[in-house]
Structure 1
């Protein structure tokens, strides 16, 4: 039988109740993981998806509007029945009365009963229904392209925030190393000053350098925390869980620049392409909306009245039964001649919108191609700078070590040592800045081609 110490027993119980907690805390956030987390939960994408679903649902709304109108109506009335010859526009305000013409107005009451069923169905309109369906499909396609563009923009924002954290952490590491070196130098100088080997001024200058190094580190720390907050907002994770993977492979930065890639089928262009189709489709709908419409009409009704055939007032109860029935069938053609004029004006307006959409698409194509060409040209030059970085770093480190050794032996001044220390820190920061610029150009190329596979390899272990 194995006996566990109570401390180990409590630890095992904690791990049993919190499965995966240690894994979550220990596993850093990768670049691709940050992108996937944002794409799965970010509110703007959810809103865009809902908008696309609304466009799809609108297609069913339009189809339902084409169903035949079938109306049922029944009423029972009591009132006077005095008729008079003449015509008028009712305007929905005058209640129609059907009764005999009499010499005098009568206050006698008559009852009436009427039931009505009518239907009308637009069965043919020279392709307007088909044009409406095509327009709806084009609008759904524009919405889907907008969702893809939103995903593309969000991916770009997440990668940018991730890189801000990554490079801020690199700079923070350099400032931390610089702070440690300055502190080491200060301690050496303080010992030399106490022993009377170096003047007190050197100690004062060392303290100033230490304070400046601390301030520089705190400024970088502020930038680092700000970048973490932005990344936490985009990924939907608590700030305390934002610990990125620091893996970085600089070798792909030196790979030869590939031949100019194609920017076709890009999410930013796809929106413009589908918008051109959508605007062009609406022209067809405008023209067909002005064409005649053929409808089937049908109605049947039954009626009763307490007036007899001689228009004499009978018992009120006799008007509650139906005594006459009728039906009517017909075909109606409807056309508003002025719609032709209105359609012509709307078509001209829509043609300008099509031209606008095409010009915007052409501008987007030029901008993407220009971004790709610029990235390729700058990468070619920047790669030469990257090849010089190792040599520059080694030289700066060697210079600092030599100046420190000379200072310890009394052969160098504090100013020379400070210059060497400043030079080393400057070269380290320049190395980070050069790599930052190279990575940014690789990202610019990935954004222009919508191909992130090669870019992601820079941050894979």
Structure 2
């Protein structure tokens, strides 16, 4: 109410009007700030930093969970491969009853003809004979000229490739989260500019409307001021929409409700002006590690293919017991007699097995695998070249952008001075409303250009961090 009273008493003094409106706006902002602090005691503790956003996405994002599960499965496969080398030990027992009519001759059983053990008879007898057979066998591949060690090397290579895939997935997710975080950060910076522009336009409009009411300025000025205010409001609302979109995207990546996403506004321009030393892409870069481990894995597969064609040496053992109701003269006896064991045997042996055609098959598979290795090596060379090229481009552009950053304070100060001078001249009747609007538009454009230049510099630093796999310097830009 105090501001309204003073306005009525000093309605014809434009400088008093400016001071009153500025003081009123400052009071409103202070009251809002005090209310915010009182109603949200946990506001600052919930602020999401850039590094915190990356860690939150690593902890819950589904693609990483899928990669971790795939890695666990491949690690479990190591134990499966080793278990396959255990000896086969089989126990078998059967009790049978049936006829026992034998006949001389050879045949292929094909797994369909039931074998019968008994003497040859002149006639086909329907008498029943019983039998009992117990069997225990074991076979163990004890030597194969290094195939086991080649299998171990291959499964370890599979684990290494899966680990590299997980690291590459984390690397890509980090890039996505940082981009989304920066998108929200620069959107909020532009929203702040639109808010400041809206406040400036509203201040100018209030003063112009008051001057028009008192006949100091023509009515056209108030109409133009209303148009400028409407455009400023539309620009502010559009930027609010952009901020909400960026907030939802970051919330999706970090697993938080969109309404709870509030990022840290800390930003240090100083490090952007410091010249950076030349850096090379490390050989352990996540985008290179996958290719390197694929080459290693395919080389291990060649060794396994070669050794799989070599002979295999196995240890064999068997023991069995048998009973039958037929006596040694091949006469039928009581059926119950065949349930007991009357003969036992055992057998030990060592066997060597080789398939001569496997050597031909292995040679062709090795040749195929060598082409795949050559392809993987070429892809690795291309990836190295692309990363090193990204570092060179970022360094070249940063040298120019740093000069632009150094010039920004002068540009902003000049635009602010131009606006203040036009405002003063307008109040003294020496400028038109169009000139004042042009100065206000220029100031807003320069502020947005400053944000764009900083965003470009940060993006180049991010490109450099991604190409060198060194994010420490980049994170330092957003630390307090």
TM category (shorter chain) comes to over 0.9
- Residues 260-269 or 421-430, more deviating: 260-269
8 Å contact 2:280–2:388 — kept in the other structure?
no
Select 1:242's aligned residue among 231, 252, 261.
261
Q: What residue number does 1:209 align with?
A: 228
Q: What residue number does 2:63 align with?
A: 44
Residue 397 of structure 1: CA displacement? 0.6
- Residues 36-45 or 339-348, more deviating: 36-45
Residue 43 of structure 1: CA displacement? 2.3
Residue 238 of structure 1: CA displacement? 2.1
8 Å contact 1:30–1:244 — kept in the other structure?
yes
Distance 1:197 1:24 in 2: 47
Q: What residue number does 2:33 align with?
A: none
Residue 26 of structure 1: CA displacement? 4.2
Matched, 1:219 2:238: yes
Distance 1:244 1:257 in 2: 27
1:62-101 per-residue CA deviation (whole Å, 9 max, x = no partner) reads: 1111000000000000011111112222121111111221
Q: Within 5 Å, which residues of 2 pair with 1:160-309?
A: 160-309=179-328
CA spacing shift, 1:146–1:96, aligned 2, 3 Å = same
1:164-214 per-residue CA deviation (whole Å, 9 max, x = no partner) reads: 111011000001111111111222222222223333222222222111111
Q: Within 5 Å, which residues of 2 pair with 1:68-147?
A: 68-147=87-166
Distance 1:262 1:113 in 2: 73
Q: Which runs of 5+ in 1 are unaligned?
A: 1-20
CA spacing shift, 1:24–1:139, aligned 2, 3 Å = farther
TM-score with structure 2 setting the length: 0.90
Q: What residue number does 1:34 align with?
A: 53
Q: What residue number does 2:349 align with?
A: 330
Q: What residue number does 1:440 align with?
A: 459
- Residues 141-150 or 69-78, more deviating: 141-150
1:237-282 per-residue CA deviation (whole Å, 9 max, x = no partner) reads: 2222211111111000100121233432211111111111001110
Q: What residue number does 2:74 align with?
A: 55
SS at match of 1:192: helix
Distance 2:69 2:418 in 1: 62
Residue 230 of structure 1: CA displacement? 1.4
Q: Within 5 Å, which residues of 2 pair with 1:293-372?
A: 293-372=312-391
Distance 2:431 2:395 in 1: 46
Distance 2:347 2:383 in 1: 60
SS at match of 2:477: helix
Residue 24 of structure 1: CA displacement? 6.2
Q: Which runs of 5+ in 2 are unaligned?
A: 1-39
Q: What residue number does 2:14 align with?
A: none
SS at match of 1:441: helix
Q: What is the RMSD of the two structures over their aligned residues, measured on CA atoms? A: 1.3
8 Å contact 1:257–1:379 — kept in the other structure?
no
How many pairs does the alignment contain?
441
SS at match of 1:325: strand
Give 4+ residue runs of structure 1 displaced > 6 Å after superposition. Answer: none
Q: What residue number does 1:4 align with?
A: none
8 Å contact 1:263–1:369 — kept in the other structure?
no
Q: Within 5 Å, which residues of 2 pair with 1:420-459?
A: 420-459=439-478
Q: What residue number does 2:407 align with?
A: 388
Distance 1:285 1:151 in 2: 31
1:135-177 per-residue CA deviation (whole Å, 9 max, x = no partner) reads: 0111111111111111111211111111111101100000111
- Residues 99-108 or 397-406, more deviating: 99-108
Distance 2:322 2:423 in 1: 115
TM-score with structure 1 setting the length: 0.93
Residue 23 of structure 1: CA displacement? 3.6
Distance 1:416 1:263 in 2: 56
Distance 1:352 1:176 in 2: 61
Residue 435 of structure 1: CA displacement? 0.2
SS at match of 1:301: strand
1:1-47 per-residue CA deviation (whole Å, 9 max, x = no partner) reads: xxxxxxxxxxxxxxxxxxxx944664411111212222222222222
Distance 1:347 1:97 in 2: 48
8 Å contact 2:309–2:358 — kept in the other structure?
yes
Distance 2:341 2:266 in 1: 89
Distance 1:372 1:87 in 2: 78
Distance 2:412 2:211 in 1: 29
